[in-house]
Amino acid sequence: MNLPSRLLPLLAGIGLFGAALTVLEPAALAAEEAKVIPAPKLKAAESGKQAVAVFAGGCFWGVEGVFSHIKGVKSAVSGYHGDGKANATYDEVSSGRTRHAEAVRVVYDPAQVSYGQLLQVFFSVVADPTTLNRQGPDSGTQYRTALVPTSKSQAQVARAYIAELDKAGAWKRRIVTAVEPYKAFYPAEAYHQDFMFKNPTHPYIVRWDAVKVSNLKRTFPALYMAKPVRG
């Protein structure tokens, strides 16, 4: 769709949002269900007090919202990955004409949370890995699911985990989440950062993203942190 679907609430005053939401309702099912899966068998070689990983899972508001509630995460920043700096803007990316995906850069302490655990959360509560270029009501290549490792070890774990989940038949359909080489990450505009924290009653957050954080709290209580990290 030309207009980013999460901006549809802006049309509520003229009665269009409710109608659009009714039409899109069936697409909500996958986003609402947590699917708890085993952690990766292969562990990433991680050391030091800080590591970085990038995840693309549809609208970055919800992806950022989930990761910001995980213990050991130091920051979760919404942005764009996959193309150049010149078109790393919300208007350009939302048009679907770039190679960017909405993504989140996660900085974490490997001593508190592993890359494998972040992957487990991603596949369990963040995104449906079987829908190509679509998450919930949002469609287009900018809403694809992708893992963007920042080290050789992360890349090995990511690829092995996807193969492991496919072999186990964790989903009825094949996983289409790609493992993409890291290029450059460009932070999104300031108003997108900490969006869920700042706008908890926004219709899109209430309908599509708050449930993801609730699923994190319910299914991964040992990892859940009530107060989200900012930025």
Please list the active-site residues.
59
Phi, psi of 209 (to 5 degrees): -110, -35
H-helix or E-strand containing 119? helix 115-121
Q: Do 102 and 59 touch, CB atoms closer than 8 A?
A: yes
Q: How buried is residue 170: exposed, middle or buried, by Cβ count under 10 Å (0-12/13-18/19+)?
A: middle
The Cβ of residue 2 has, within 10 Å, a number of other Cβ atoms equal to 7
102 bridge partner residues: 80
Residue partners of 41: CB distance under 8 A and separation at least 6: 160, 164
CA pseudo-torsion sign 137, 224, 190, 199: positive
**Which has the closest alpha carbon to 118: 143, 138, 148, 142?**
148
CA distances from 166 to 47, 51, 132, 154 (A): 29, 27, 15, 18
